[in-house]
Chains A and B, each alone.
Chain A
Amino acid sequence: MLDVVDRLGAGIATSLLGKPILDESLPFHCGVMGHLGTTAAADLLAACDTLLIIGSSDPWTEFYPPVGQARTVQIDLAARNLGAKYPVEVGLAGDTAETLRALAPMFTAAPVPGPAPAPGREWRSQVEGMVASWHDVLDSRVHTTAELLNPQLVVHELSAHLPAGTQVAVDVGSVTYWYARFLRLGPDMPAHLSSTLASMGSAMPYGLAAKLYRPDRPVVALAGDGSMQMNGLSELITVAARWRQWADPRFVVLVLHNGDLAEVSWEQREVEGDPRSARSLAVPTFPYAGYAELLGLRGLRIGAAREVGPAWRAAFASDRPCLVEAVVDPDVPLLPPRQAEDDVTQTIRALRLEGNVTAAVQLRQQRRQEAHHPAAGRPGGP
């Protein structure tokens, strides 16, 4: 895949399921695309003149290039998926690796950068600009401070603490956004979640399946308080019943405790323009860390930025499974990248109806961070 990307001088964006496949630290890797994705991936798709879709059926159709802008080729093992999400000019039914191997020699090798950069290189440098801009946005997002702990920071900081070979299991909700945008996976770190069904409650059972498959490797399960109350708390009993049999007992559970079904709250504001239905979306408070201790596991409760690093260190140094309960801010917006101003205005109006000033302030702040790095690249560019 990387060989083809290099030959084309292309940039990369992935679906949510595709996130673990390529190293996101590559300077031309724009990250995950879609509503929960990065500005770089949005910019890349908005500006590209050619699109090669490899094994992806990404559902965020509004994030694909405008129809007619990009000549599109799709590779998929299943012929029925070709052209099924986006109009493509050529569909190639085949195994990804086999097909790319057959295609690669047909692309001329990328020219060596010289005094007069070749057109392909010019695009690549635009792509690298998009990635650099996103990294700046990312940096300001994770370091935004409010009264309550920033969940983006908690997930971002985890990247630096993941032991080699960690298996990652992710849930569905606001935590999915933070995973998609801010967790940097190392090599050989499989990560899975309920992606297309997008069912709450995938982190704990996936984490258990991963652990039973490779008990010698650490597991980290990323969940929200809603999912934990739906079923995660019960499956923590399964962890407690089994961990003594594991060669590596590290099974780290992150619970983002914000007392809110936050993704639903933000959708309610953004899509419907309605104020959050406070009574319907509240998640009752629960002592997650205390409960873990009750089960004979380790439990850590944090609520301040300075506690995040030490908590991750302690969790991965623990001699038994450890639950990190991070009491975090429900008012951090799940702003989709490069959203139309009208949609942002609708969200702001909903927040005004709630009287939710802190969320509105953060939303405007996120917009300013993006505006500081306007989308680069020209549609149908060089």
Chain B
Amino acid sequence: MRRIFGLAGDGIDPIVAALRRAEPEIELVTARHEEMAAFMATGHAKYTGEVGVCLATQGPGAIHLLTGLYDAKLDRRPVVAIIGQIVSTALGGGYQQEVDLHTLFKDVCGQYLQEVTGPEQVHLVVDNAVRTAIATSSPTCVIVPHDIQRAPAHEHDGPAHGIVRTSAVVTRPRVVPAAA
């Protein structure tokens, strides 16, 4: 992935900063509204045959993505949405911009929707979100609470109990009808 479509927001400041550090390998293309970023990601998937990625902040930013993600779902295209969430220590507290993102995205990103609860989990969630989007030609979603965004990245060394190691391997099957 070389391009992410999105719009900055303070709920994703650490991710936006990470993208700045990742320049020019990954470019954050900003839209004027998150809905347009989601449509751009779907459009990217359609014109390129690749997976499209969009990024939005917690609360209103995340809500704005929905229509563009449904576009991907109904036309069967792979798109990964990365969205921020309020700090996990305040979840359930009726916090500023707190929205039940699981409920909100469960239909459109029904194939894979996961909130990251610790830095150890980031690799597997991102891998699975991308792989599932491609394998099912549908949108998937990664929710990242603010405190997880700020945590130092975790480098895995080996398989261990309670640690799932994954890899960014994607292949497509050759599908032919069974002989009559």
Contacts and interface: CB of A to CB of B under 8 A. Distances in A.
Nearest to A106: B180
- B contacts with A: majority SS: helix
Given A93-B175, A95-B176, A98-B174, A209 B35 contact: no
A95 B174 contact: yes
A197 B68 CA distance: 9
A98 B176 contact: yes
Interface string B38-57: 01111110111000100000
A167 B47 contact: yes
Best-buried of B29, B43, B177 by chain A (most CB within 10 Å): B43
- A contacts with B: majority SS: mixed
A205 interface: yes
Contacts of A199: 39, 67, 70-71
B36 A210 contact: no
Given A210-B43, A210-B47, A205 B175 contact: no
B33 interface: yes
Contact of B5 (A95, A98, A209): A209
Contact of A205 (B31, B48, B70): B31
Contact of A102 (B29, B43, B73, B176): B176
B75 interface: yes
A99 B177 contact: yes
B3 interface: yes
Interface residues of B, number: 33
Nearest to A96: B175
B32 interface: yes
B35 A231 contact: yes
Contacts, number: 106
B46 A206 contact: yes
Contact of A212 (B29, B68, B176): B29
B67 A235 contact: no
Given A92-B177, A99-B177, A209 B41 contact: yes
B74 to A, nearest CB: 4
Given A235-B31, A238-B31, A99 B176 contact: yes
B33 A202 contact: no
A192 B31 CA distance: 19
Given A202-B71, A205-B36, A212-B3, 6 more contacts: A167-B47, A197-B71, A197-B75, A201-B67, A205-B68, A210-B47
For the complex of A and B, the 3 pairs showing the least CB-CB separation, nearest first, are A209-B43, A205-B39, A206-B43
29 contacts: A17-B75, A94-B176, A94-B177, A95-B175, A192-B47, A194-B42, A195-B75, A196-B74, A197-B67, A199-B70, A201-B39, A202-B43, A205-B31, A205-B39, A205-B40, A206-B39, A206-B40, A206-B46, A208-B29, A209-B41, A209-B47, A210-B47, A212-B44, A213-B44, A231-B32, A231-B35, A234-B36, A235-B36, A238-B30
